[in-house]
Amino acid sequence: MGSYQRGKKIQKTIKNKNMTIARIIITIGVLIIFAWLVYLIFFEEVTGTTRDLLFILIGGFLSSFQNIIDYWFKKEKRNE
């Protein structure tokens, strides 16, 4: 294996590691926001249209969970 090929392989490894770290940070952020929304609905006094908007936001976050679950539990090899 030449030095050029080794360099390309190292760059690909670093890129994959950086993408994994970024996805972990995004996942944690989404989970924190979802937990905050659930807290607002169950433990704070929210009435009227504000409560309806919170339910709409939770529905949006639930659809984003599908992407998170696909990333973490997909069985096929990912090409990054």
Range of the domain at 28: 3-73
- Whether 11 maps to a domain, the answer reads yes
What is the rounded distance in angstroms from the CA atom of residue 80 to the CA atom of residue 72? Answer: 14
- Whether 33 maps to a domain, the answer reads yes
Q: Are 38 and 58 in contact (CB under 8 A)?
A: yes
31 torsion bin: left (phi>0), alpha (psi -120 to 50), beta (else): alpha
- Whether 79 maps to a domain, the answer reads no
Segment 43-60 mean pLDDT = 85
Q: Using one digit for the tens of pLDDT, what is the confidence trace for 19-31? A: 788 878 888 888 8
- Whether 80 maps to a domain, the answer reads no
Q: Is the pLDDT of residue 39 over 80?
A: yes
Give the global pTM. 0.61
Tally of structural domains, the chain: 1
Q: Are 54 and 60 in contact (CB under 8 A)?
A: no
Phi, psi angle pair for 74, to nearest 5°: -70, 130
Q: What six digits make up the tokens of 14?
A: 């670093």
- Whether 78 maps to a domain, the answer reads no
